[in-house]
């Protein structure tokens, strides 16, 4: 069983950065709780240990002592940034980092930026710094700085659930890639589409076709047989003929004329 240490920065009386009605300690706690849930739910053989799972204050050495004692295989400390001009995403390893720390940073940074790039997040690159969390931990350790709370564009991004999800997904994928984790079979099934849920792009057409009786409204995502398609076209053809008949000649005659056109096609 692989053991991962996950450290949501700050907590309790130490709120971390706070701007635009966002508070770092809350954001990073929610992100870390969800990373743990997803890793343990979707991947084989990983156990995640959090330095804190509630809003409590912890000293930095309490965090590294805890993880060193648990002897976790890697440690990821999660933060949000402040005071950074244009904003963006960056990661830190220790100035004298091990080869595995370098590998962990590369895996995390690449995976998280892949998720965040579509939202226009600036890549501030993989950095090196003499930080307590990456220096005092005995295992490979990386600290992620997830956008700048005091940069309006980044703060707006952090208020979007899909950006928070991208940060979570990036961490999960980066950690999975570093350890070479295998996805659980059940997780693969869970990611398949729900055929009872209509896709966003088809919503209007599906509602219209259902309301007007061409489809019964069930299983919008299911595949269709030739006979099912024939029933829908039959309904369309009949209504089409009725429409013209109401404005012109009798329906039997129109049917004959349409059949002639169809035969000639």
CB of 69 to Zn ion, least distance (A): 23
Rounded distance between C-alpha atoms, residue 120 and residue 20, angstroms: 19
CB of 51 to Zn ion, least distance (A): 13
Token pair 């928070």 is found at 164
Tell me the C-alpha to C-alpha distance, in Å, between residue 46 and each of 17, 32, 33, 58, 241.
31, 15, 15, 25, 63
Rounded distance between C-alpha atoms, residue 42 and residue 185, angstroms: 8
Backbone angles phi, psi at 93, to 5 degrees: -125, 170
Rounded distance between C-alpha atoms, residue 36 and residue 49, angstroms: 8
State the sign of the Cα–Cα–Cα–Cα dihedral 33, 34, 37, 40. Answer: negative
Comparison of 133 and 198: residue with beta carbon closer to Zn ion? 133
Comparison of 24 and 115: residue with beta carbon closer to Zn ion? 24
Comparison of 108 and 181: residue with beta carbon closer to Zn ion? 108
Rounded distance between C-alpha atoms, residue 265 and residue 165, angstroms: 52
Judge contact between 137 and 3, C-beta under 8 A. Answer: no
Comparison of 2 and 146: residue with beta carbon closer to Zn ion? 146
CB of 153 to Zn ion, least distance (A): 19
How many CB atoms neighbour CB 81 within 10 A? Answer: 22
Comparison of 9 and 140: residue with beta carbon closer to Zn ion? 9
- Using CB atoms, what's the residue nearest to Zn ion? 79
CB of 9 to Zn ion, least distance (A): 4
- Are β-strands 89-93 and 74-81 bridged in parallel, bridged antiparallel, or unpaired? unpaired
Contact residues: Zn ion, CB under 5 A:
9, 16, 79
Token pair 């969800």 is found at 34
Exactly one of 24, 90, 115, 145 is catalytic; which is it?
145
Does 145 qualify as catalytic in the annotation? Answer: yes
Comparison of 50 and 245: residue with beta carbon closer to Zn ion? 50
Structure tokens that stand for 23 in this block: 């508070």
How many CB atoms neighbour CB 219 within 10 A? Answer: 13
Judge contact between 109 and 175, C-beta under 8 A. Answer: no
Q: Could you list the active site residues? A: 145
């Amino acid at each position: 069983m692989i053991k991962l240490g996950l450290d949501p920065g700050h907590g309790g009386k130490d709120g971390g950065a706070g701007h635009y009605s966002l508070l770092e300690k809350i954001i990073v706690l929610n992100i870390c709780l969800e990373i743990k849930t997803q890793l343990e739910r979707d991947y084989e053989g990983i156990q995640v240990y959090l330095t804190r799972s509630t809003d409590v204050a912890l000293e930095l050495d309490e965090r590294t002592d805890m993880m060193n004692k648990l002897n976790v295989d890697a440690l990821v400390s999660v933060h949000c940034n402040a005071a950074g001009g244009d904003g963006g995403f960056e990661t830190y390893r220790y100035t004298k980092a091990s080869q595995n720390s370098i590998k962990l940073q590369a895996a995390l940074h690449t995976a998280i930026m892949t998720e965040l790039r579509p939202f226009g997040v600036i890549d501030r690159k993989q950095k090196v710094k003499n930080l307590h969390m990456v220096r005092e931990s005995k295992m490979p350790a990386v600290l992620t700085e997830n956008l700048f709370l005091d940069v309006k564009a980044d703060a707006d991004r952090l208020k979007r659930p899909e950006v928070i999800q991208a940060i979570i997904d990036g961490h999960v994928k980066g950690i999975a890639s570093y350890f070479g984790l295998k996805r659980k079979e059940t997780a693969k099934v869970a990611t398949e589409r729900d055929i009872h849920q209509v896709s966003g792009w088809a919503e209007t057409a599906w509602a219209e076709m259902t309301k007007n009786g061409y489809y019964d409204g069930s299983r919008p995502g299911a595949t269709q047989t030739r006979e099912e398609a024939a029933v829908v076209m039959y309904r369309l053809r009949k209504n089409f003929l009725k429409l013209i008949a109401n404005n012109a000649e009798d329906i039997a005659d129109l049917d004959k004329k349409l059949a002639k056109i169809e035969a000639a096609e």
